[in-house]
């Protein structure tokens, strides 16, 4: 993946951005139709009759991917187009849900659109653009591993007290590791230096990508951006050069929005691989 130095390629979105937290403020206004894809939930069924490990976890008997509607059946909630996760889960904290039959359900990922779902979506997106080989991917500039602000912590995990020699060795290792981390961060910042797309609520690093690349759910394994090798982000914004559609996963959002022509959105809504609802540009998802 190459950096897009010409950030004016994203300027067309600036006047389309409506109020923060709305659909139009996230994916842009002015499109014919919109869809909201709810991020799936990872669930494990525990054997709570067995002893827990040192972290308080019980052996896992089964694992599955749940939908919000699966949780709603147990909590009595109704899943609708603009529903927030806290309404479905019935709680305001950010902890896993635990049910009496042993199932433990995680929270929907925020700012992350599963590459398998993105790959599935590319099948529909390809039919709705004339430029499938010319896309722009926008990544939020606030991720610590992309802007050089990540930190390294070195610790000691043992019940025994450190001896003076062990303490000295640990301090020496920590100093060396911190220096190496800082050098890597400085190299990363230098390699990614350049203009950013400034939208009303976020700033973004722009990358060039194609739909065939994203159609492979393992694309991140070989992705390279500057000197950063362990690529761990899915797009916050994605659009083709013909501006036919936009896909947006806001960094604090537990769902992904698709904006585009009616035919595309109809295809997304009809695809059983997604838990998806039609929304409008003025809907508030904050």
Q: Say which range, 1-5, 108-112, 233-237, has the weakest mean pLDDT.
A: 1-5
Short-list 118, 115, 95, 91, CA closest to 107: 95
Give the model confidence (pLDDT) of 13-24 as tens digits: 999 999 999 999
Residue 230's pLDDT is 56
In the predicted structure, residue 273 carries a pLDDT above the cut 50? yes
Determine which helix (DSSP H) or strand (DSSP E) holds 203, and give its type and residue range: strand 203-209
Residue 133 has pLDDT above 70, yes or no: yes
Tell me the pLDDT tens digit for each residue of 158-185.
656 778 887 888 888 888 888 887 777 7
Nearest Cα residue to 122 out of 273, 285, 281: 273
Q: Please compute the mean of the pLDDT values over residues 182-205 and round it to a whole number.
A: 83
- DSSP conformation class of 221: G
Three-state secondary structure call for residue 124: helix
Place of tokens 């350049």: 194
Segment 208-217 shows an average pLDDT of 95
Write down the mean pLDDT value for the chain. 89
In this prediction, residue 260 carries a pLDDT of 98
Do 43 and 66 meet the contact criterion of CB atoms below 8 Å apart? yes
Question: How many helices and strands in the chain, by DSSP H and E?
Answer: 8, 13
Least confident range from 105-114, 173-182, 240-249: namely: 173-182
What pLDDT is attached to residue 227?
Answer: 55
| Least confident segment among 97-111, 188-202, 246-260 | 188-202
Pairing of the two strands 2-3 and 203-209: antiparallel
The confidence band for 209, taking pLDDT boundaries of 50, 70 and 90, is very high
- Tell me, what's the pLDDT at 229? 47
pLDDT at position 228 is 54
Question: DSSP H helical segments within the chain, as ranges?
Answer: 23-27, 68-75, 85-89, 115-126, 144-147, 164-191, 211-214, 262-270
Looking at residue 211, what DSSP letter applies? H
pLDDT digits (tens, 9 = 90+) for 62-95: 899 999 999 999 999 999 999 999 999 998 888 8
Residue 206, pLDDT above cutoff 80: yes
pLDDT higher than threshold 50 for residue 61: yes
Higher pLDDT, 185 or 140: 140
Say whether pLDDT at 32 is over 80.
yes
């Amino acid at each position: 993946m190459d950096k897009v130095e010409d950030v004016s390629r994203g300027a067309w979105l600036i006047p389309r951005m409506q109020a923060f937290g709305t659909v139009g403020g996230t994916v842009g206004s002015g499109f014919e139709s919109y869809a909201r894809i709810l991020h799936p939930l990872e669930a494990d069924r525990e054997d709570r009759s067995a002893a827990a490990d040192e972290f308080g976890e019980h052996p896992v008997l089964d694992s599955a991917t749940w939908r919000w509607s699966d949780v709603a059946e147990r909590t009595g909630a109704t899943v609708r187009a603009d529903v927030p996760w806290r309404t479905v889960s019935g709680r305001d904290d950010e902890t896993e849900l635990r049910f009496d039959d042993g199932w433990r359900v995680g929270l929907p990922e925020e700012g992350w659109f599963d590459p398998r779902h993105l790959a599935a979506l590319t099948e529909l997106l390809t039919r709705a653009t004339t430029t499938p080989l010319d896309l722009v991917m926008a990544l939020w500039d606030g991720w610590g591993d992309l802007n050089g602000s990540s930190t390294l912590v070195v610790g000691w995990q043992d019940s025994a007290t450190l001896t003076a020699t062990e303490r000295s060795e640990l301090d020496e290792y920590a100093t060396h590791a911190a220096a190496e981390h800082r050098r890597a961060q400085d190299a990363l910042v230098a390699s990614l230096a350049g203009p950013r797309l400034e939208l009303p609520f976020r700033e973004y690093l722009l990358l060039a990508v194609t739909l065939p690349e994203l159609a492979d759910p393992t694309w991140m394994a070989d992705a390279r951006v500057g000197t950063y090798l362990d690529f761990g982000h899915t797009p916050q914004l994605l659009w083709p050069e013909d501006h036919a559609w936009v896909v947006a996963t806001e960094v604090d959002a537990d769902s992904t929005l698709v904006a585009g022509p009616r035919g595309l959105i109809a295809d997304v809504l009809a695809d059983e691989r997604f838990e998806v609802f039609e929304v409008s540009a003025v809907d508030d998802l904050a």
